[in-house]
Structure 1
Amino acid sequence: MARHEGGCQCGRVRFSADVELEGLISCNCSRCGRLGSILTFVSAGAFSLDQGEDALTEFKFNTDKISHLFCETCGVQSFGRGVAPDGREMIAVNVRCLDDVDVFSLKPQEVDGKSF
Structure 2
Amino acid sequence: MLAASSVEIRKVNKFYGPPFHALKDVNLSILPGKVTCLIGPSGSGKSTLLRCINFLEEYDSGEISIDGQMIGYVSPPGGRKMPGSKLREMRRSIGMVFQQFNLWPHMTALQNVAEG
Q: TM-score range by the shorter chain?
A: under 0.3
Q: Relative contact order, CA 8 A, sep 6+: which one is greater?
A: 1
Which structure: larger Rg? 2
TM-score normalised by the chain length of structure 2: 0.25
